[in-house]
């Protein structure tokens, strides 16, 4: 059974700092890996999707990497801003479904 | 605007009530999903529909009954729920479900804002 773990569970950083969120998964037979952002009481916003054949994806200040063989992904956020404060969720795609990690709660202090 | 809408956004119901959650996608997708997000637990899949046919039931109790009348609409009918069913229920859609073999093309899922359900 696929298990997805995210470390750290919570992170508090000053504005402007670069940071890395980690995601690991136990079964490497995945279709893709997605990073989402969730604001309190809201739905999910897709940030980046990495297909299983890809190594990384970039969007603005965000960069996500995927090492399928070792079962790891990282989300790098450059020059963090208070507006980046949210819960970040990692999910791996198996046939017909996404399996989610518990998330990392990020707080960026101004 | 995500292209996936859910109503109602908030719902409070008693354990003997019957209610329904509605999801609508405006993206022309063929697959739709229900997920449950409980406090202190990861998001978990409940049901998957592809072209109005249910293709996955993730061991969900029968007090949750999904319905997909067409590829744009998905319902979750609720009856005789328990307080532990209180959660955020999220709907998602994708162009298709994933193919048979891992490593093939896969499709991004787009999520609605969710319905916050409280069972009293």
Cα–Cα distance, B29 to B98 (Å, whole number): 13
Extended strands (E) in A8-103? 10-14, 19-25, 32-38, 44-51, 56-59, 62-67, 72-77, 86-94, 97-100
Q: Answer whether B98 sits within 8 Å of A95, measured CB to CB.
A: yes
pLDDT band with cut points at 50, 70 and 90 for residue A3: very high
Q: What is the pLDDT of residue B2?
A: 57
Residue to test with chain B: of A40, A97, A99, A102, most B Cβ within 10 A? A97
Q: What is the pLDDT of residue A98?
A: 87
Residue to test with chain B: of A23, A98, A101, A104, most B Cβ within 10 A? A98
Q: Answer whether A97 sits within 8 Å of B45, measured CB to CB.
A: yes
Q: What is the pLDDT of residue B108?
A: 83
Q: Encode pLDDT of A87-109 as tens digits.
A: 999 999 887 788 999 999 999 99
Q: What is the pLDDT of residue B54?
A: 84
Residue B56 has pLDDT above 70, yes or no: yes
Q: Which residues of B touch A4 (CB under 8 A)?
A: 42
Cα–Cα distance, A37 to A21 (Å, whole number): 12
Q: Encode pLDDT of A23-79 as tens digits.
A: 999 999 888 899 999 998 788 999 999 988 899 999 999 999 999 999 999 999 999
Q: Encode pLDDT of B85-116 as tens digits.
A: 999 999 999 988 876 554 456 678 899 999 99
Residues of A with CB under 8 A from a CB of B: 4, 29-32, 34, 36, 41-46, 49, 51-53, 89, 91, 93-103
Q: What is the pLDDT of residue B99?
A: 64
Rg for chain B (alpha carbons), in Å? 14
Q: What is the pLDDT of residue B84?
A: 93
């Amino acid at each position: 059974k696929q298990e997805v773990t995210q470390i750290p569970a919570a992170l508090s950083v000053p504005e402007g700092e670069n940071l890395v969120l980690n995601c690991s998964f136990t079964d490497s037979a995945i279709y893709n890996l997605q990073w989402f952002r969730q604001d309190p009481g809201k739905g999910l916003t897709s940030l980046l999707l990495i297909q299983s054949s890809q190594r990384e994806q970039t969007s603005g200040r965000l960069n996500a990497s995927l090492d399928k063989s070792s079962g790891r992904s990282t989300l790098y956020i450059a020059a963090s801003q208070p507006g980046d404060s949210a819960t970040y969720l990692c999910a791996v795609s198996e046939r017909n479904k996404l399996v989610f990690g518990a998330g990392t709660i990020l707080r960026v202090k101004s | 605007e995500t292209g996936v809408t859910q109503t109602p956004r908030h719902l409070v119901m008693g354990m003997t009530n019957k209610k329904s959650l509605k999801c609508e996608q405006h993206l022309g997708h063929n697959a739709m999903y229900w997920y449950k997000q409980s406090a202190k637990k990861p998001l978990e899949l409940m049901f998957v529909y592809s072209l109005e046919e249910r293709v996955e039931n993730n061991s969900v109790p029968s007090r949750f009954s999904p319905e997909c009348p067409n590829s744009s609409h998905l319902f979750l009918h609720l009856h005789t729920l328990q307080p532990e069913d209180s959660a955020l229920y999220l709907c998602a859609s994708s162009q298709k479900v994933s193919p048979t073999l891992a490593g093939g093309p896969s499709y991004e899922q787009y999520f609605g804002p969710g319905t916050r359900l409280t069972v009293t």
